[in-house]
């Protein structure tokens, strides 16, 4: 094997390593396993993932682009506080796209899609009964992603995901509150029923109601977890 081939393999391995680190750290941040303000030591990450500094650095740069970490050169990398304005914009983006998405799906309902959505709702219900919040959240994301895939616009899903870190953390913070999980299950069922019936207006109404509730409890969450939020001056609230 030539030096050039070895170099290409090394770069490919670094890219795969960075992608793996990115996926794991993003999930840790979105699940609040890494809470806002948590310090990310590059040395610790190298040891945890058994990788060199380059893929770790690349993964942290991606997280910074998504607004999930703040990098202070020569000082520290920390998980960013929740920014409510960024959450609001992400909500607007996702709602705008998915309103058109469910309309299109309802105008030509596909039985296979409907069954897949119902299967994901059943999975969510099981996870809800078990109190498995992370699995519930994963099935929640799969429900929405499935609709993007069915419409052939998966790149838009990736766009939404890259912009949704702040609102996803709000949702995760609110998930254990009484009644929230059942509210989500009811909304997903209403959306699916409307798509199955070919009722585009009802699908849009259910989707709009579902995606418009994420910011309703911001002040209560801010009061219970002030350390998780940005202050009005952009710095972490004290």
Domain assignments of the chain as residue spans, ordered by start: 3-79, 84-228
3-state secondary structure of 80: coil
Mean pLDDT over residues 13-18, rounded? Answer: 78
- Quick: pLDDT tens for 28-41: 999 999 999 999 99
* Domain covering 3-79: architecture: Orthogonal Bundle (1.10)
Structure tokens at 39: 């310090």
- Quick: pLDDT tens for 219-237: 999 999 999 998 643 344 4
130: confidence class by pLDDT, cuts 50, 70, 90: very high
Residue 11: CB atoms within 10 Å: 11
**Enclosing H/E stretch for 72:** strand 69-72
Measured CA to CA, the distance from residue 105 to residue 150 in angstroms comes to 8
Share of the chain above pLDDT 70, in %: 91
Q: What homologous superfamily is domain 84-228 in, according to CATH?
A: GntR ligand-binding domain-like (1.20.120.530)
- pLDDT for res 73: 82
Structure tokens at 221: 């969450």
């Amino acid at each position: 094997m030539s030096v050039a081939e070895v170099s290409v393999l090394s770069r490919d391995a670094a890219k795969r390593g960075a992608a793996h680190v990115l996926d794991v750290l993003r999930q840790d941040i979105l699940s609040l396993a890494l809470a806002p303000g948590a310090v990310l030591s590059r040395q610790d990450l190298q040891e945890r993932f058994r990788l060199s500094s380059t893929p770790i650095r690349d993964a942290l740069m991606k997280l910074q682009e998504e607004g999930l970490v703040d990098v202070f050169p020569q000082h520290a990398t920390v998980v960013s506080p929740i920014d409510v304005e960024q959450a609001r914009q992400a909500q607007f983006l996702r709602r705008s796209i998915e309103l058109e998405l469910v309309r299109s799906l309802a105008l030509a309902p596909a039985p296979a899609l409907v069954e897949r959505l119902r299967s994901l709702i059943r999975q969510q219900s099981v996870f809800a009964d078990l109190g498995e919040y992370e699995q519930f959240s994963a099935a929640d994301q799969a429900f929405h992603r499935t609709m993007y895939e069915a419409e052939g616009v998966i790149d838009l899903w990736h766009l939404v995901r890259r912009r949704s870190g702040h609102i996803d953390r709000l949702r995760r913070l609110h998930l254990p509150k009484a009644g929230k999980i059942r509210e989500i299950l009811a909304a997903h069922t209403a959306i699916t029923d409307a798509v199955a019936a070919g009722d585009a207006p009802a699908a849009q109404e259910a989707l709009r109601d579902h995606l418009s509730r994420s910011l309703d409890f911001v002040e209560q969450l801010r009061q219970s977890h002030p350390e998780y939020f940005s202050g009005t001056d952009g710095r972490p609230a004290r």
